Amino acid sequence: MASQPKVAKTDSSTKSQIIPSNSLATKSYCCLSKAKIEVDLKWTIERFVLFAESEILECFRLTELGSKYSLRLHLLSAWVQIDLHTSNKVENPHSVRVELSIIGGKSKNNLQHTKCIQANTPFPVCVWRIDRQAFKSENFVGQNIAISCKIESLIVNTTATQKYFDETVISDQVSSRILHQLEEMFEKMPLSDVTFNIRGRKFSAHKNILAMRSPVFAGMFHHPTREMQSNQVEIKDIDPDVFQEVLRFIYTGKTQSTAMDKMAPGILAAADKYLLEDLKSRCETHLIQQMSAENCLELLSFTTHHPAEHLKKYAIEYFRCYPDEVMKTGNWKKMKEENPAALCDLQQMVFSIAPAF
């Protein structure tokens, strides 16, 4: 693994957590009555390196944003993510606008981005998520780069924006009601029009919802297939509990944490079968966050049968970083006794593929 680049004015690196970027965009920022600049500085990172393309490998932390804010840069599998943290124990009392730009390297172009954060938004907040390929295409890798950060505290015309916020509250209430209705539909399945037989267990569902969420189900129910005509679908290669979680996600967009802890590999395989990319990504992220020396070999072996590139890359990188710990585990000893050929293939895969930079 490449040596860590020198980072100007940083704290020690730590492992990061994946933080979703779900903040609500606010139209009210066009109605500003006053903007106060709180931060305006440049953060230099010397000889910026992406390391291997694996999830959540490093975190660079800049604390020179005054006593209130800190900026952190995370290297994810497909993204370079910048998060804004605050030292406040409470949510940010004022709306803020964050203007960021990345300059340097051999590129003549600068990457620029603006993020508006509502008052009372919980921190940390993802303020910029950039495709890793953008860094490569702009020739930032291996070069000195500077991240310019300008943070403005925004005071808005409350009269002009009150109507918008009222509408936002109503919209949130409607969305919450719709989600509640979908959850109730998942639990009770009223007016269902298709039945799944999963290893003897029966599950009812609605063709339209399944087809809307999954291209595979769309192909099944939009054409005169046997399943479409009989309203019966038999599945033999998925565990019933796994299929229930897949249905839960299809209807509600949610997953149960207990189910993910127990069945994430099975759910990932089912998500791949039915082309549920969001669910597949969620499973990969969960497994990456739970990876340890004990399960690294098992997860790496899993990726040889099921396409999960982010999980595979992280498992390979984890193995490379902690080979001694992995080879001391019971899973290693078991595979060495029961399937030495497969173990040899995994070792060759891990140590013969050069890290991607």
Q: Give the Cα separation of 188 and 204 in Å (integer).
A: 9
Residue 82 belongs to some domain of the structure:
yes
Residue 169 belongs to some domain of the structure:
yes
Q: Do residues 56 and 143 both lie within one domain? A: yes
Residue 13 belongs to some domain of the structure:
no
Residue 15 belongs to some domain of the structure:
no
pLDDT score, position 348:
84
- State yes or no: pLDDT of 82 exceeds 70: yes
> Which of 29-33, 85-89, 183-187 is least confident?
29-33
- State yes or no: pLDDT of 244 exceeds 80: yes
Q: Which of 137, 169, 188 is the last residue of a domain?
A: 188
Between 302 and 35, the higher pLDDT residue: 302
Q: Do residues 204 and 106 both lie within one domain? A: no
Q: Do residues 263 and 203 both lie within one domain? A: yes
Which has the closest alpha carbon to 87: 72, 70, 105?
70
Question: Which value, to the nearest 10 degrees, does the dihedral of the CA atoms of residues 281, 140, 357, 15 take?
Answer: -50
Residue 130 belongs to some domain of the structure:
yes
Q: Do residues 173 and 66 both lie within one domain? A: no
- State yes or no: pLDDT of 148 exceeds 60: yes
Q: Is 299 left (phi over 0), alpha (psi -120 to 50) or beta?
A: alpha
Domain with 274, as residue range(s), is: 194-352
Name the DSSP class of 109.
S
Q: Do residues 181 and 200 both lie within one domain? A: no
- State yes or no: pLDDT of 10 exceeds 50: no
pLDDT score, position 98:
87
Between 217 and 1, the higher pLDDT residue: 217
Gyration radius of the chain over CA positions: 24
Quickly state the pLDDT bin for 118 (edges 50, 70, 90). Answer: confident
Mean pLDDT, rounded, for 198-226: 95
Q: Do residues 137 and 205 both lie within one domain? A: no
Q: Do residues 123 and 238 both lie within one domain? A: no
Q: How many domains does the chain have?
A: 3
Q: Give the Cα separation of 63 and 77 in Å (integer).
A: 25
Residue 14 belongs to some domain of the structure:
no
Between 324 and 120, the higher pLDDT residue: 324
Q: Do residues 217 and 135 both lie within one domain? A: no
Mean pLDDT, rounded, for 98-123: 78
Residue 98 belongs to some domain of the structure:
yes
Looking at 131-194, list the stretches that DSSP marks H as alpha helix, in order from N- to C-terminal side: 132-137, 158-188
Q: Do residues 164 and 183 both lie within one domain? A: yes
Which has the closest alpha carbon to 206: 220, 222, 190?
190
Q: Do residues 177 and 285 both lie within one domain? A: no
Q: Give the Cα separation of 194 and 201 in Å (integer).
A: 14
pLDDT score, position 157:
53
- State yes or no: pLDDT of 59 exceeds 60: no
Q: Do residues 168 and 66 both lie within one domain? A: no
Peptide bond connecting 124 to the previous residue in cis, omega within 30 degrees of 0: yes
Q: Read off the CATH number of the domain in which 200 is found.
A: 3.30.710.10
Q: Do residues 253 and 335 both lie within one domain? A: yes
